[in-house]
Structure 1
Amino acid sequence: MIYRLKLTDDYPDSYWFQFKKEEISIVDLMQCQEIHSKNPLIFTLNKKISEKRLLSYNIFSSDGPDFISPRLATLLENNEEFVKEVQLLDATVIINGQSHYGFKVFNPLHFLSCIDMDKSESRPLLSYLPDGPKSFTKMVFRQDITKDFWMARCEENTSCIVISDKLKQFCIENNIKDIVFE
């Protein structure tokens, strides 16, 4: 079984970070190619928030890519199988002017055809490209996926990252509670 990578529904709107688009863009991350950069990706948040509560999460949202906590990053970096499939890019998080290090951004290195297009509902993202990228109102995953993987980018919708049962189990075993397995 496969699942869409999604944050818990109780993730506060006030914890949405701004992604500083410099050397690497969100489009670069959708190519499933290794990225070589000397500089970390930068995420900022300038709001009055409980920094302690915010930093208790393991996965964070932004107006660019999602990113993960140093704790989850360390767990995944120590998993040799996982790091063969997913590049973890360094990220610096700046909260009210204070920098925090050790965060990472997922960069899955392969695509997986996983959406059942007959059961899903979509429309062309651009009306003049009817066979181009789709906007999904209902996404149903295929049940016949046999590929052994940890994490991949969905071939039919490149903004969607999917995870496997073994990554779900890894998260459960390591008490990662703020990822929803949908």
Structure 2
Amino acid sequence: MLFELKIFDYPNTYWFEYESNEISNYDLLQCKKIQNDNPLIFKLKKKVSEKRLLSYDFCFSDGPDFISPRLATLLANNKDFLKDVQLLDANVIINGQNHSGFKVINILRTISCIDMDKSDSEPILDYLPDGPKRFYKIVFKQDIEENFYMARCLESEGRIVMSDKLRQFFIENNVKGIKL
């Protein structure tokens, strides 16, 4: 069984601005390892409760999404997870303070996971009927036998799915910021 990775209980005031331009969202959609020596920078312009914000394990931005140092440490010990995902260094600036240890998730795997016959979609561009789709209803395939932790959907590369074993890992470790 698989689950879509979705934001949950994450306040709008905690959305970061992506300050780096070395790696784009498009680069991350390619599902290829990225060489980068400098940490990616994220900044929060509004003054917020640092303690409350830093309690979230998944953080969201107008660029790539990233995870907390706590979750990065937990995931870095899982070699099977790291076959599907590359963790890129990130620093965040909150209330003028720099925080290191955060990681951007670069997903390295795609799987065919959307049942196109049961889902409701249409081409984004009329002249590309087999091109990218706009989905109104998504039904995931139930018979996926691939052994994976996290992947992008082949049919909609902006969507990220996780396996039940990763979802259970997140539940057991009280991961905050996504719907479980």
Same fold? TM cut 0.5 = yes
1:6 aligns with 2:35: no
Moved over 4 A (4+): none
In structure 2, C-alpha distance between the alignment counterparts of 1:20 and 1:48, rounded to whole Å: 17
Task: Name the TM-score, length of structure 1 as normaliser.
Answer: 0.94
| Counterpart for residue 118 of structure 1 | 117
Q: Secondary structure at the match of 1:160?
A: strand
Q: Any unmatched runs of 5+ in structure 1? A: none
CA deviations over 1:117-148 (Å, ceiling 9, x no partner): 11112222223322111121211110010111
Task: Name the TM-score, length of structure 2 as normaliser.
Answer: 0.95
In structure 2, C-alpha distance between the alignment counterparts of 1:57 and 1:78, rounded to whole Å: 20
Q: Secondary structure at the match of 2:165?
A: helix
| Counterpart for residue 150 of structure 1 | 149
| Counterpart for residue 54 of structure 2 | 55
Deviation at 1:64, TM superposition (A): 1.5
In structure 1, C-alpha distance between the alignment counterparts of 2:70 and 2:141, rounded to whole Å: 32
In structure 1, C-alpha distance between the alignment counterparts of 2:18 and 2:126, rounded to whole Å: 29
Deviation at 1:21, TM superposition (A): 4.2
Q: In structure 2, what residue type is equivalent to 1:90?
A: D
In structure 2, C-alpha distance between the alignment counterparts of 1:27 and 1:67, rounded to whole Å: 16
Q: In structure 2, what residue type is equivalent to 1:96?
A: N
Deviation at 1:63, TM superposition (A): 1.1
In structure 2, C-alpha distance between the alignment counterparts of 1:98 and 1:136, rounded to whole Å: 40
1:169 aligns with 2:160: no
Deviation at 1:178, TM superposition (A): 3.0
On the 8 A contact 2:16/2:42 being kept in 1, the answer is yes
1:37 aligns with 2:32: no
CA deviations over 1:70-110 (Å, ceiling 9, x no partner): 00000000111111221011111112322111111111111
More displaced 10-residue stretch of structure 1: 165-174 or 24-33: 165-174
Identity %: 64
Q: Secondary structure at the match of 1:7?
A: coil
